[in-house]
Structure 1
Amino acid sequence: MLHIAFESPNQPEIIALIADLDAYQLTLYPPESVYALDLPSLMQPEVKFAVARDAAGAIVGCAAVVLSGEYGEIKRMYVKPEARGMGAAKRLMTALEQATRNAGCSSMVLETGPSQPEAIALYARHGFEQCGPYGDYRDDPLSVFMRKAL
């Protein structure tokens, strides 16, 4: 049984999980193509940080949404490899979408990379479609931009 809740990212287990995510992304992409938010950025009031915990209370995944007036941007989506297939990513996505709707945003956006086909497939299953760069992003062959109208 998984439990999803919005929590502070400033917890040792979450900091370690994010470090695992960073290390994984740096095996796929050069540093200049990794658009990760650091801990102080994740702790800003416009960020909702969702945590997935297993039945024993151990953290198995996380995801954040940065809320602006126009859209919610998904950041820091990660599920530990040993916990994949349990539905954590789907439940995290549902929580982020609800938070985005509650904030009055009309769409959700995200940036991922072409070396993460599982992530792209997950987002597509949740109604995201590929689009061009948004916000401050530039077109980058190592970026895949996606958007979902709410």
Structure 2
Amino acid sequence: MEIKFVDAENADLLMLAAKLDEYYFEIVGEVHKRYAKYNDPHLFGCRAVVYIDGKAAGCGCWKRIDERSVEVKRIYVLPEYRRQGVASAVIGAVERDAAQHGYTHAILETARTTKDSAALYLKLGYRVMPYYGSPAGADNCLCFEKELDSAPEAELKFVDVTDADLAALVAELDVYFRAGWGEVAEKYKQYHALDGMACAVVAYIEGKPAACGCWRAYDPVTAEIKRMYVRPAYRRQGIAGKIVAALEQHAAANGCHRAVLETGADMPEAIAFYEKQGYRLVPNYGDFVDDDICVCMEKEISDGTMR
């Protein structure tokens, strides 16, 4: 199971949302049409799609209500993937994302006739609340609320390159790349050997390995950021940014004043993330010069900060 945060135009999200609309139309009929203007994906603060074996299985979103609260929206799982924990996983991801953005309270509504949905929300810690104005009307829906836990703090540990948790995280990253790039991923294995890394970091959430990153010497004054990976359940919690900062600080302390990295040209979220950390796109360097499937980025570092 993999959870991806997607944009409002994502085809899988739109397909799942259309299936959800069909489902609700069967339950409440024409009254469901009142919802259309409230369910535009562009209105949501996050949009998550769950994938199983590479296929879209379910979705969920959140929408800002006020400074404290979000409304959990568009929770749907295709029939063939139900009772496999998909709904719980996507709701958890949406809640964590909202908490990461500073919200502490979630509300939602579901049709009164969907007994399984109500039972799931109660199981996940929601409680019934008074009707809060759903377009379907109080006679047709049940409303729920829940206080959100603050996002757990990540503990960073510098580890040896033979560390078992680091190896497990890197193995998951390799599976991810093989699924997306196929045979091309094998070409890059020579650049990713852990025994060539100068530093490795593993992030732990509540004692569980959640993410990793490394750097290796590209030249005497340049650190190359490598093997960045965050497990799906822990994404969008600021962990990757903390790992990058730790790697930069370690590299700067070891005489580097420049950091470089490469990422997929077809991975706009990764590119945007690194730009947020202060990196800028540069012409592909070294072994990546002729590769159009990747882009290269760089940043001047000094004690882990921009010069």
TM-score range, shorter chain: 0.7 to 0.9
The AA in structure 1 aligned to 2:255 is G
Q: Residue 143 of structure 1 aligns with which residue?
A: 294
Residues 28 and 115 of structure 1 are in contact (CA less than 8 Å); yes or no, is this contact kept in structure 2? no
Q: Count the aligned residue pairs.
A: 146
Match of 2:278? 127
Partner of 1:116: 267
CA-to-aligned-CA distance 1:68-116 (integer Å, 9 cap, x gap): 3121001100000100122110110110110121121121000111222
1:8 is displaced (CA, Å) by 1.6
Going by fraction, where is helix more abundant, 1 or 2?
Answer: 2
Which stretch shifts more, 132-141 or 79-88? 132-141
Report the equivalent of 2:167. Answer: 15
Structure-to-structure mapping, 1:6-85, within 5 angstroms: 6-32=158-184, 35-36=188-189, 37-38=191-192, 41-44=193-196, 47-55=198-206, 57-67=207-217, 68-85=219-236
Deviation track 1:120-142 (CA, whole Å, cap 9, x = no partner) reads 11110011111112233322110
Q: Distance in 1 between matches of 2:246 and 2:183?
A: 29
For 1:143, the aligned partner's letter is C
The one-letter code matched in structure 2 to 1:86 is Q
Give the 3-state SS of the residue equivalent to 2:288 in structure 1. Answer: coil
Task: Say whether the 8 Å CA contact 1:29–1:142 is kept in structure 2.
Answer: no
Partner SS, residue 287 of structure 2 = coil
Deviation of 1:64 after TM superposition, in Å, equals: 0.4
Equivalent pairs: percent with the same residue?
34
**SS, match of residue 249 in structure 2:** helix
CA distance, structure 1, for counterparts of residue 171 and residue 225 of structure 2: 18
SS of 2:286 mapped into structure 1: coil
| Unaligned residue ranges in structure 1 (runs of 5+) | none
